[in-house]
Amino acid sequence: MRPIRRLPSALGSRRSNTLEQEREYSEKIQEVSYRKAINDEEAPVKMKHVRKLIIATHQDKDALLYWKLAHTLNPLSTDVTAWKFCHTLHMLLRDGHKHTMRDTIKNFDFIKNIREHFNHLKHGYGRLIVCYSELLLVKLRFHRRN
């Protein structure tokens, strides 16, 4: 049995969280939400995970972490994950922070690559992904001009 003196240190500091700890926690929550929203399960995206991603863009005032996750956790692995990525991105552009559009325009080629990657699939999600990514590209072109 451990002495009582060691228990408080094992439980952690009683001080309030520092800004760095809060940031790490926020990034962890955002990564978990991204993984749960964009998975290869053939089921609709759960809105609670998308909501957390949207709220995170408002807290961070940008979508840089979302795009970092998108580049790290490849949404091109399956057609289902690519579809969910496009759908989630569309909701982020609609409801996320205003700088989400700016950060997404910087990743224009990433969305273009999704369209090109699934262009050869003529059945299932392939055609849907091509159409959805084209819609996102048209939206980004419009906002880039205006």
| 81-140 per-position pLDDT tens digit | 999 999 999 999 999 999 999 999 999 999 999 999 999 888 889 999 999 999 999 999
Q: Rounded to two decimals, what is the model's pTM?
A: 0.84
Angstrom distance (rounded) from CA 15 to CA 36: 31
What secondary structure, in 3-state letters, does the chain show? CCCCCHHHHHHCCCCCCCHHHHHHHHHHHHHHHHHHHCCCCCCCCCHHHHHHHHHHHHHHCCCHHHHHHHHHCCCCCCHHHHHHHHHHHHHHHHHCCCHHHHHHHHCHHHHHHHHHHCCCCCCCHHHHHHHHHHHHHHHHHHHHHC
* pLDDT of 15 over the 60 cut: no
* pLDDT of 13 over the 90 cut: no
Check residue 11 and give its pLDDT: 53
Angstrom distance (rounded) from CA 60 to CA 86: 21
CATH of domain 20-145: 1.25.40.90
Asked if residue 35 lies in contact with residue 73, where contact means CB atoms within 8 angstroms, the answer is yes
Check residue 1 and give its pLDDT: 53
* pLDDT of 14 over the 90 cut: no
Check residue 104 and give its pLDDT: 97
* Interval 26-39 mean pLDDT: 95
Which among 42, 44, 34 is positioned nearest to 124, based on CA atoms? 42
Domain ranges of the chain: 20-145
Check residue 121 and give its pLDDT: 84
